[in-house]
Amino acid sequence: MSAEGGSASGGKIGIFDSGLGGLIILKEIIKKLPQYDYIYLGDNARTPYGNRSREVIYNFTEQAVDFLFKQDCQLIIIACNTASAEALFKIQNEWLPKNYPDRRVLGVIRPVVEKAIISGKKKVGIIGTKGTVNSHVYIEEIQNKKPQLEVLQQACPLLVPLVEEGWQKTDVTKRVLRTYLKPLKSAKVDTLILGCTHYPILFKEIQGIMGKRTKVLHSGEIVADSLADYLGRHPEIESKLDKNSQNIFYVTDLSSHYQKLGEEWFGKGIKFEKIDLK
């Protein structure tokens, strides 16, 4: 394998998440664009990223992106909101030009923000990890484009562990959700951004708590539409992609528990291969 990574025969689309929540994003992308070859990488041995320092999040993200490029990915989507908020800019502007100048790395925040701006009338709410919320990236992106929108945030650090444990249907999770969402519901936000790949798994529960007056945005559908649009606008990238409808799934920790979650969130027949990013 060359320093550029991979062979010149073709290319794949990489999807990286700090855990398995990104499988929800990938599922929607494949539904929209089934012809391409995809490689999924979930760093579930080190999830969640949301409570870690910016330096550590960046280092983990760089390791993951480098791994995927070495597996022949031409284009990578960082599905993790925390990594998109804390590492994407530096990856795109400093690391990529030096290491893989002909490849591309995209995040999930900008497409969701663009949708929120269209949907938002007066108040937009955001729920996310501590890392995503503390970065203020959603607030900055929204108010740069539509400053008249009021933006409210709520950190929800317990949701990722609860979802990863498969507890999304339990009363415990519903009580935690109601507690987290209460300030946003009381503020009468008209649009709610699910600022973490795990949260669409709780979509029905969140929509039920917020009520019909709040539009809850499904990041998976939004990112899939955005990728289709991106490839249409960038034929120089699209033309390099393999079209065999093949999917590969890598994780940094493998157990029967994770296998069960993968089947629940993506579908039966999913096969994980364990790799080490360190």
pTM summary value: 0.90
Q: pLDDT at position 268, please?
A: 87
Q: In this structure, are residues 125 and 188 in contact, taking their beta carbons and an 8 Å threshold? A: no
Identify which has the larger pLDDT, 4 or 196. 196
The class level of CATH for 110-219 reads: alpha beta
Q: What percent of the chain has pLDDT over 90?
A: 83
Q: pLDDT at position 49, please?
A: 87
Average pLDDT over residues 270-278: 93
Query: Matching CATH topology for 12-107+221-274 and 110-219?
Result: yes
Q: pLDDT at position 9, please?
A: 53
What does the pLDDT look like over 48-65, one tens digit per residue? Answer: 888 899 999 999 999 999
Average pLDDT over residues 181-197: 96
What does the pLDDT look like over 99-114, one tens digit per residue? Answer: 999 999 999 999 999 9
Q: Quickly name the fold that domain 12-107+221-274 has.
A: Rossmann fold (3.40.50)
Extract the tokens encoding 262: 């993968």
Domain boundaries, the chain: 12-107+221-274, 110-219
Extract the tokens encoding 44: 């579930």
d(CA 255, CA 39): 19
Active-site residue identified among 41, 76, 196, 261: 196
Residue 73: active-site member: no
d(CA 11, CA 228): 16
Q: How far is CA 259 from the centre of its chain?
A: 20
**β-bridge partners, 17:** 42
In this structure, the strands spanning 247-251 and 272-274 are parallel
Average pLDDT over residues 198-210: 94
Amino acid present at 7: S
Q: pLDDT at position 7, please?
A: 40
Distances (CA, A) of 254 to 83, 85, 105, 164, 258: 22, 27, 26, 13, 6
For residue 250, pLDDT beyond 70: yes
Alpha-carbon dihedral sign for residues 118, 124, 127, 132: positive
Residue 156: active-site member: no
Q: In this structure, are residues 87 and 107 in contact, taking their beta carbons and an 8 Å threshold? A: no
Active-site residue identified among 33, 79, 80, 112: 80
What does the pLDDT look like over 56-97, one tens digit per residue? Answer: 999 999 999 999 999 999 999 999 999 999 999 999 999 999
Identify which has the larger pLDDT, 168 or 177. 177
Terminal-residue alpha carbon distance, the chain = 19
Extract the tokens encoding 246: 């093949």
